Amino acid sequence: MEQQAGLLGSFVPLLILFAIFYFLIIRPQNKQRKAHEEMLKSLQKGDKIVTNGGLIATIVKPEEDFLKIKLNDETIVKLDRAFVARKVETGNENA
């Protein structure tokens, strides 16, 4: 009986460590990933975005897997949705 209590006592620190790991790392990452997916779904024509490469662009035409974006007055390119880092909020273009 004492061996079972000792065995259970040795797993308690591991369970506590896993719980701390879950609440400090895994859960926040899942929340951030879900928020990013929602942002990608809500993109529409005229939204300003920042790509993973650091380019600031305006969406011309959202498509299923790609976005047609305008980099300047003459350059329109296709961008995979996976490479959108974030949406630029109104009034935050110069930040």
Tally of CB atoms within 10 A around 50: 14
Give every CB contact of residue 68 below 8 A, 6+ residues apart in sequence.
59, 60, 61, 62, 76, 77, 78, 79
Residue 68 has pLDDT above 90, yes or no: yes
Sheet arrangement for strand 66-70: 76-80, 66-70, 56-62, 48-51, 84-88
* Per-residue confidence (pLDDT) for residue 66, from 0 to 100: 95
* Mean pLDDT (whole number) for 12-25: 91
Query: What is d(CA 4, CA 16) in angstroms, rounded to the nearest whole number?
Result: 19
* Per-residue confidence (pLDDT) for residue 93, from 0 to 100: 57
pTM assigned to the model: 0.72
35-67 pLDDT tens trace:
999 999 999 999 999 999 999 999 999 999 999
* CATH annotation of 44-95: 2.30.30
* Per-residue confidence (pLDDT) for residue 3, from 0 to 100: 65
When mean pLDDT is compared over 4-13, 22-31, 85-94, the highest value belongs to 22-31
